């Protein structure tokens, strides 16, 4: 039972929104081991052109990602849900080791196992260079987005 990740499918609008926010908070921790626990042992991912299978590969992938994407901050928003599936749109900001800033825009399709862990994640992402003064995501580096920080819709994204 320790593998249960509330809320469980089938999702309602409220539980889908909760699941999206929990995923956002986890990724904003930038802790690959913590994030990997939200996924089944044999979870399948497609992230851009990279295919990842299982928690060990998830940890490796996220470690590489956050070593490259510095000062990462992510906002996710529910797009659609049905049964054990959720679709989200998201944006995140980061800088590279040369100080160049980017905003990445994307969509993800998620499928969950009965225990609430994600078993499939398909992500499409596009990066756009931005000027530092055009950044919109501001909160403590390794923490969740504060409740009073605007979401994607409120930011016009």
Question: Which CATH number goes with the domain that contains 128?
Answer: 3.10.450.50
Confidence class for position 2, pLDDT limits 50, 70, 90: low
User: Over the stretch 37-96, which tens digit does the pLDDT of each residue have?
Assistant: 999 999 999 999 999 999 999 999 999 999 999 999 999 999 999 999 999 999 999 999
For residue 120, being part of any structural domain is answered with yes
For residue 52, being part of any structural domain is answered with yes
For residue 149, being part of any structural domain is answered with no
127: left (phi over 0), alpha (psi -120 to 50) or beta: beta
Mean pLDDT, the chain, as a whole number?
96
d(CA 144, CA 149): 10
For residue 150, being part of any structural domain is answered with no
3-state percent helix, strand, coil for the chain, nearest multiple of 5: 25, 40, 35
- Other Cβ atoms within 10 Å of 12 Cβ, number: 11
d(CA 138, CA 143): 11
**pLDDT score for 22:** 98
For residue 90, being part of any structural domain is answered with yes
For residue 102, being part of any structural domain is answered with yes
**pLDDT score for 3:** 87
Note down the domain range covering 118: 13-134
For residue 58, being part of any structural domain is answered with yes
User: Over the stretch 24-45, which tens digit does the pLDDT of each residue have?
Assistant: 999 999 999 999 999 999 999 9
For the chain, the domain total comes to 1
């Amino acid at each position: 039972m320790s593998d249960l990740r509330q809320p469980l499918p089938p999702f309602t609008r409220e539980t889908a929104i909760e699941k999206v926010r929990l995923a956002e908070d986890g990724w904003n921790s930038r802790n690959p081991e913590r994030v990997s626990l939200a996924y089944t042992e044999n979870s399948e991912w497609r992230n851009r052109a990279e295919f990842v299978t299982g928690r060990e590969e998830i940890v490796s992938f996220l470690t590489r990602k956050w070593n490259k994407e510095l000062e990462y901050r992510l906002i996710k928003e529910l797009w659609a849900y049905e049964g054990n599936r959720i679709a989200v749109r998201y944006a995140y900001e980061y800088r590279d080791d040369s100080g160049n800033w980017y905003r990445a825009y994307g969509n993800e399709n998620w499928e969950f196992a009965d225990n609430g862990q994600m078993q499939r994640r398909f992500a499409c992402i596009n990066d756009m260079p931005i000027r530092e003064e055009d950044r919109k995501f501001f909160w403590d580096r390794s923490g969740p987005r504060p409740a009073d920080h605007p979401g994607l819709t409120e930011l016009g994204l």
